[in-house]
Amino acid sequence: MQIKHTFYIFFLLTLFSCKEEVKITAPLADALASQSPKIKMVMDSLEHYEVQIKFTQIDRNNTKEVVFTDYKFQVNANNYFYPASTVKLPIAVLALEKLNSLENLDMNSVFYIEGDTLETTFAKEISKIFAISDNEAYNRLFEFLGQDEINQKLTEKGINNARISHRVSSPNADNITTKPLIIYINDSTIRVTDRIINKPIKPLNLQGIKKGTGFYEEDILINKPFDFSLKNYYAIDAQHEVLKRIIFPESFEPSQQFNITETQRAFLLNTMHSLPRELGYTANEYYDSYVKFFMYGDSHESIPENIKIYNKVGYAHGTLTDCAYIKDTLNNIEFLLTATILVNKNGIFNDDTYEFDSIGIPFLAQLGRELYQQELGRKKIK
C-alpha cells in the first residue's frame, strides 16, 4: 500500500512580495522561486496562466516498498483546465484491459473501424498515441470502449475527477453512439462488435468552465467566453493516479489496479518512454522532445540514454499539460510530475494564436530541470 505525505504550499504567492530573504525548503517552492526567465515570466503574472502542479518524490525503504511524498501547487479539481491529449493514456490502458475480457483477441489482433480504410492492430494504435500523440489512433480505441465503459472503469479503480466524453479532432467528436469494429480472428473468421449507445453527456459544473472573451466557430468570431462544459475533464490528481497505477501497480489494492498482463504492461511502458525515432518516425520532424515537455521540451537535442520519460502530454485550446514519470538510470533518480498551464494572451480560442513555444513549453521544461537538479542533490530517505 502506498505511503503518502502531502504538503500544500500556501505561502508561495507571498514569497515575491517579502523584502527579507526567506529560505524555502519545499521542492516546488524552490523550483518556482527560480530566477530563470522561463519560470519568472510566469510567476510574475501568475494570475494569467492557471498553473497547477503536482510533484511526487519517490523513495524505497529497506523492504523495497515504494514511498511517495507528494507536493502540490494550486491543484484544485474544481478549477477546470482542458486536458487535450492527456486523456489518451487511460484510453490506451483500458483498451488493453478490455482485450483481456474478450475471447481470442489480443493487442496484435487486426481490426478496422466501420467506414475507415485503415487496417491496423491495437498495439500499433497505442504506439502511435505515445510516439506522436496521434488523434485518429485515440479515436479508434475510443470507438472500441465507449464513454460509459471508460468512465465506469476509472471510477471503479478509485480515480475521481475524470470524465471522458468525446473523441478529438473529429466531426462526430461527441456522438454518444460508437461505430462497430471489424476484427480478424484468423484468415477465415471475423468478429463485428456492436454499436455502443452511451448515456448523454451532462454539462460540467466547475470553476473556470467558461474561459476567455471569445472564440472562433466556422471562421466566425463569437464574442463570448468559450464553454468547456461538455468537454473532457481529467484533473491533475486523476492524471497522477492513473500514471501511478501503471508505473507502481504493487502500491495499490488489486481492485484499484488495471487488469493487464505483465506482457501488456511491459509493452505499454516501453511505448510510453520510446522516442519517435525509435519507433520509425523521422527525427527531423518528430524530434526526441516532440511529446515530452519536462526537461527537454524547449530543445530539439537528443535526450540522453540514461533519462527515461514515461508520459503523456496534451496541448490544445491554449492549454499545455504533461503527466510524467521521470527516471535517471545512471543517478538512481525517479519522480512523478504533472503540470498544466494556460497560454492564451488574447483570450480568444480556436484562433491558433497561443504562446505554446514562447511561454508554455519553456516553463514546463525548466520546471522539470529545476526539480531534477534538486533530486540530484537530495539524500534518499531510509
Q: What CATH number has the domain bearing residue 333?
A: 3.40.710.10
Strands (E), the chain: 3-8, 52-60, 66-73, 110-113, 120-121, 162-163, 181-184, 190-192, 210-211, 214-217, 220-222, 226-227, 233-234, 307-316, 319-328, 333-342, 348-349
CB 104 within 8 A of CB 260: no
Per-residue pLDDT at 14 exceeds 80: no
304-321 pLDDT, tens digit per residue, is 999 999 999 999 999 999
What is the domain count for the chain? Answer: 1
> Is 53 among the domain residues?
yes
**pLDDT confidence bin for 195, thresholds 50/70/90:** very high
What span, in angstroms and rounded, lies between the C-alpha atoms of 37 and 22? 20
> Is 382 among the domain residues?
no
**pLDDT confidence bin for 15, thresholds 50/70/90:** very low
Q: How do beta strands 214-217 and 348-349 pair?
A: parallel
> Is 166 among the domain residues?
yes
Q: What is the pLDDT of residue 381?
A: 47
Q: What is the pLDDT of residue 296?
A: 98
Query: How much is the pTM?
Result: 0.92
Q: What is the pLDDT of residue 61?
A: 83
What span, in angstroms and rounded, lies between the C-alpha atoms of 196 and 77? 29
> Is 163 among the domain residues?
yes
Could you give the percent of the chain with pLDDT greater than 70? 92
Average pLDDT value for residue range 148-174: 96
49-84 pLDDT, tens digit per residue, is 999 999 999 998 887 789 999 999 999 999 999 999
Average pLDDT value for residue range 365-377: 96
255-272 pLDDT, tens digit per residue, is 999 999 999 999 999 999
What span, in angstroms and rounded, lies between the C-alpha atoms of 316 and 354? 9
Average pLDDT value for residue range 174-186: 95
What is the domain range of residue 358?
3-377
Q: What is the pLDDT of residue 380?
A: 53
Q: What is the pLDDT of residue 315?
A: 96
- Cell 451532462: give the residue: 202
Give the bridge partners for 68, in sequence order: 4, 58
CB 239 within 8 A of CB 313: no
Which has the higher per-residue pLDDT, 260 or 10? 260
Q: What is the pLDDT of residue 186?
A: 84
**320 grid coordinates:** 499545455
User: Between the CA of residue 286 and those of 118, 277, 369, what are the distances in Å?
Assistant: 22, 7, 22
Q: What is the pLDDT of residue 188?
A: 78
**Mean predicted lDDT score pLDDT of the chain:** 92
Per-residue pLDDT at 44 exceeds 80: yes
Which has the higher per-residue pLDDT, 239 or 218? 239
Q: What is the pLDDT of residue 62?
A: 80
Alpha helix positions (H), 100-134: 122-132
Average pLDDT value for residue range 359-377: 97
What span, in angstroms and rounded, lies between the C-alpha atoms of 52 and 364? 11
